[in-house]
Structure 1
């Protein structure tokens, strides 16, 4: 998303494993994702519709801990398991969470490394866009297997029209929003080039179909902001 100035193929896990990049991570989403904090608040509301007050929540792609902190602060009875393949990001999450770590377990790895559950709810924010369609569906199925029947799942990530001309137009808007939000114009241009060269983004209808084929029902869109989309469904 905002990982590198290099438009050549990237190893996203390696990029996020850089401690300096992890320490700077909190600035990126706020500038590149419209409504970033609101997305976290909405996610908590949607999960709470079906999750109990003492829910155990799986957070896949826990990153630097911003989502974990938002959920833990809004729902003091919840315990959370955050999973991420980048150790540097998990160490940043520990710093972000501070005393909230008493209710959070962090796991370095991918969905197959997550506890078997069953969990009462799950999220995967700003993560699935790093995976191609096949790996994306496998990951969604892995989340589904770890949830109680009827448990809510919220996913949100880069998802925008990929047709001729459409991808370039939406990526230009991605760049323009970042600049309007205070990002350095050169950084925003490089981020756009990196996304264009490396991110296997899909059309929103393809992403929704993957959630359904991965086992989720009653899938509904709830978030749309330039190149970003979000859905809620239940196991």
Structure 2
């Protein structure tokens, strides 16, 4: 059963289930996130510091398949279990992955639908900001419970100051999207949605949640406008 926090993200899941909205999904993240492809490359490097050559990797928020495709291409011995609540996005992932699907299992649902593991590594990219603080910590803890001792976990999502500078960072978010080719109206709509409907938090609070969820050594490794990334170990 979905929690209230998961219900709060229903509008976004609905958007990720709209055929028109997901038809050109692959073009979206690079326009709205500086360093999107580099984030995937850094994630592969960070996981490989501790994950074995035949690692089994848990990917939470796997819809679209871009993250798994990047990791699977960089690490030909790894296999993946990808979890996402939006079935149409998992269909996009299957098309995106093509022959790489031989090394991937995709599951519709939230973290509770993921196998118990233990996994050699895990990622959660562009996902946790859809959850409120309590559900975010619960999800992080559930990921931690599915990892082998010492296994790496990379998280990255929207996270920026929630003080008087908040509106300035949101404006930069939209301006970067326009500079990257998004239509101004589309960028403004995305800005408004992020401002009103996504559970953005201050980076220090996000780091605290990761540590409270079991990743005591979590530290930031990535920052780009309204985006942050962290690495921790179980």
| TM-score scaled by length of structure 1 | 0.95
- Structural mapping, 1:158-197, within 5 Å: 158-163=158-163, 165-197=164-196
Give the count of matched residue pairs: 226
SS class of match (1:195): helix
Q: Could you tell me which residue of structure 2 aligns to residue 232 of structure 1?
A: 231
Q: CA, structure 1 residues 232+202, in 2 after alignment: closer, same or farther (shift >3 Å)?
A: same
**Structure 1 Cα separation of the partners of residues 64 and 96 of structure 2:** 7
Unaligned runs of 5+ in 1: 1-8
Deviations 1:159-190 (A, max 9, x none): 00001x21101000000000000100111011
- Structural mapping, 1:100-179, within 5 Å: 100-163=100-163, 165-179=164-178
SS class of match (2:20): helix
Q: Could you tell me which residue of structure 1 aligns to residue 211 of structure 2?
A: 212
What stretches of structure 1 move > 3 A for 4+ residues in a row? none
- Structural mapping, 1:36-115, within 5 Å: 36-115=36-115
Unaligned runs of 5+ in 2: 1-8
1:129·1:199 contact (CA, 8 Å) conserved in 2?
yes
| TM-score scaled by length of structure 2 | 0.95
**Structure 2 Cα separation of the partners of residues 87 and 185 of structure 1:** 29
Cα deviation, residue 207, structure 1: 0.2
Cα deviation, residue 20, structure 1: 2.5
1:29·1:36 contact (CA, 8 Å) conserved in 2?
yes
RMSD: 1.0
Higher relative contact order structure (alpha carbons within 8 Å, sequence separation ≥ 6): 1
**Structure 1 Cα separation of the partners of residues 10 and 112 of structure 2:** 23
Q: Could you tell me which residue of structure 2 aligns to residue 3 of structure 1?
A: none
Deviations 1:44-101 (A, max 9, x none): 0000000000000000000200000000000000000110000000000000000000
SS class of match (2:52): coil
Cα deviation, residue 10, structure 1: 6.1
Q: Could you tell me which residue of structure 1 aligns to residue 28 of structure 2?
A: 28
Q: CA, structure 1 residues 210+200, in 2 after alignment: closer, same or farther (shift >3 Å)?
A: same
1:160·1:204 contact (CA, 8 Å) conserved in 2?
yes
**Structure 1 Cα separation of the partners of residues 60 and 22 of structure 2:** 17
**Structure 2 Cα separation of the partners of residues 25 and 131 of structure 1:** 21
SS class of match (1:107): strand
